[in-house]
Each structure stands twice: as C-alpha cells, then as structure tokens.
Amino acid sequence: MRVVIAEDNVLLAAGLNLLLDSKGIEVAATVADRPAFVAAVDEHQPDITIVDVRLPPSYREEGIQAALEARRAHPELPVLVLSQYVEQLYARELLSDGRGGVGYLLKDRVSRVSEFIDALHRVAAGGTVMDPEVIAQLLTGRGDDGLAALSRREREVLTLMAQGQGNKAIGEQLFISDNAVHKHIGNIFAKLGLPPTDGGHRRVLAVLAYLNDQG
C-alpha cells in the first residue's frame, strides 16, 4: 500500500513515516500544503492519502479542501482525515459524496497504533471509518424534525452506523439483539425520510448525505 501524507507538523509527519514504514506501508510523499498535496497525488497515484484539516497558509480548512480537490480529479481516491479539528461543512461534503473510501479521525483520540493501521486499511479498501466525536459534532445542533424525533437508543445506533459498524457489531456494543438493531435502523430511516436500506456502508453514506443536504 502506497500513501501520500499532507501534514505540516514536522514531528508528526516524521512519526507517521516511521510508523507506516514499520508496518510495511510505503510513504510515496509527505507534503505540507494544498498545491503540493494535489501534485503528489497526481504524480504518485497512491492507494490512500492521510490529510490534516488545517494546512498553510491560513491554517483553516486547506487540507480538507485539498482532499476534495484531489477526489474530484481522482474519484476513487481514499482519504483518511487525521486532525485535531472537525471542520463540519467540508467534512459533510467529503463524507457524503457517495463514493466511500473516507475516514475522519481525531489525533488526540487515536489510542492504539493497531486501531489506526486497521482504519487505514479499511479506508483504503473503500470503507468508512469515523471517530464517534466527529459524528457527535456533525449531529449536534441540526435542529431538524427528523433528528429531533430520534430516541436516545436510535441516536446511539445512528452513531455506530456512521462509524461503519454492521448490525452484529452494533448489537454487541449496545447489548441488544439483531432483531432490535434492525428495528432501530428501520425507525431511523423512517424518521429521517430515507429509504430503509439495510446495506452496511450505504447506510453511512445515506445518513451523511442527508446531513449534508440539511446543512
């Protein structure tokens, strides 16, 4: 697996390089700004990219904008956002474009190397990996009737769905049966006005697309 990294923190970038190398993952390029990232993706055609949200020169949302630009040029490009911040507007755009291969992790909440490497492989394979805190911030303050109508349990299920969890994993984490999970998912889609599709990754994209459309 070949990776392009967009990270302006020199120590973190060096650490990522060492970590990935130790796991047999090739770092094709490490860059620190949006133009260099887009150029590196064009040149190296990586299997996945790791992108910080805030890059020079303004240190606002250049990184996630760079990811969106790169995915427009390379629609199947997997992107794992690794940041201290949740940039809600562009996060919704990135996460709801319907193509998968997207992750959003918060640096301070990555507690184990194995989890990070697993997330990297899942995103590279076309999956979706979300930090629960990212989902919480995307759901906070929506104020629409659909989300307001969700019960506490339905919100818990929705959060796990948005992390890419399947029915079995959701049931195990919440200590409820498969039938109960299926029922909650049906209720969620009904309340959000979405088709009751129960198809794993497509559920995540549908929920995030809905949130983006309501933004």
CA distance 203 to 199: 6
- Residue 107 corresponds to which amino acid? K
Question: Domains in the chain and their CATH numbers?
Answer: 2-136 (3.40.50.2300), 142-214 (1.10.10.10)
Return per-residue pLDDT of the chain as tens, 215 residues: 999 999 999 999 999 999 999 999 999 999 999 999 999 999 999 999 999 998 998 888 899 899 999 999 998 899 999 988 888 777 777 776 666 788 899 998 888 899 899 999 989 998 888 887 777 777 665 545 567 788 999 988 887 877 667 789 899 999 999 999 999 988 887 787 765 554 555 566 556 655 555 55
197: tokens are 């599709």
CA distance 151 to 173: 17
Cα end-to-end distance, the chain, whole Å:
35
pTM for this model (two decimals): 0.76
HSE, CB side, 13 Å, CA atoms: give it for residue 23.
Answer: 19
Strand partners of residue 79: 49, 102
What are the backbone dihedrals phi and psi of residue 98, each rounded to the nearest 5 degrees, phi first? Answer: 85, 5
pLDDT of residue 189: 79
**2-6 and 102-106: which strand pairing?**
unpaired
